[in-house]
Amino acid sequence: MRVLIQRVSRAEVTVGDRLTGRIGAGLLILVCAMQGDDAGVARKLAGRVARLRIFRDEDGRMNRSVQDTGGAALVVSQFTLAADTRSGNRPGFSTACAPDEGERLYLEFAQALRDHGLQVETGEFGADMDVALVNDGPVTIWMDTADR
């Protein structure tokens, strides 16, 4: 599973004119399930994200997690994180999960964050979404479970 995490002051996602999710301070998490991923991978990654210490403590050091700060998470599916750009000018996405499995794992990841006590908002799987955010820092972190 791959995630791109951005520490945000606020973020929201809309589909057409319909708001599907909005948060204040917290994390915008773009998620892509890869072939071979399962619910265990999604839950484990969600735990790592919930505990990731990228928020400032009283000394200004990145030493607090979104759990510690009471922040929220906006989780948005993004299969393009599976892009293979090693050759040619058109990325390939064959390593992403099939849509039905990708949606199941995306929802599993979001629920696992809720199980860690986070307020979680979501986008709409497979939809053409507009995502607006104010990146705080900026802080952007890439995680890929295949790297472990």
Tell me the mean pLDDT in the region 36-45: 97
The topology under which CATH files domain 2-147 is D-tyrosyl-trna(Tyr) Deacylase; Chain: A; (3.50.80)
**Nearest CA among 96, 25, 98, 14 for reference residue 65:** 25
83-137 per-position pLDDT tens digit: 999 999 999 999 999 999 999 999 999 999 999 999 999 999 999 999 999 999 9
- Cα–Cα distance measured from residue 89 to residue 78, given in angstroms and rounded to the nearest whole number: 20
- Spell out the domain ranges in the chain: 2-147
pLDDT at 22 over 70: yes
Mean pLDDT taken over the chain: 96
Q: What is residue 148's predicted lDDT score, i.e. its pLDDT? A: 63
Q: What is residue 147's predicted lDDT score, i.e. its pLDDT? A: 79
Centre a 10 Å sphere on the Cβ of residue 17 and count the other Cβ atoms it contains.
Answer: 6
Tell me the mean pLDDT in the region 61-75: 97
Q: What is residue 67's predicted lDDT score, i.e. its pLDDT? A: 97
pTM of the model: 0.96
Tell me the sheet residues that pair with 131: 13
| Helical (H) or strand (E) element with 66 | helix 66-69
Percent of the chain with pLDDT over 90: 98
- Cα–Cα distance measured from residue 74 to residue 51, given in angstroms and rounded to the nearest whole number: 16
138: CB partners within 8 A, 6+ apart: 6, 7
- Cα–Cα distance measured from residue 101 to residue 33, given in angstroms and rounded to the nearest whole number: 8
**Which positions are catalytic?**
78-80
Q: What is residue 47's predicted lDDT score, i.e. its pLDDT? A: 98
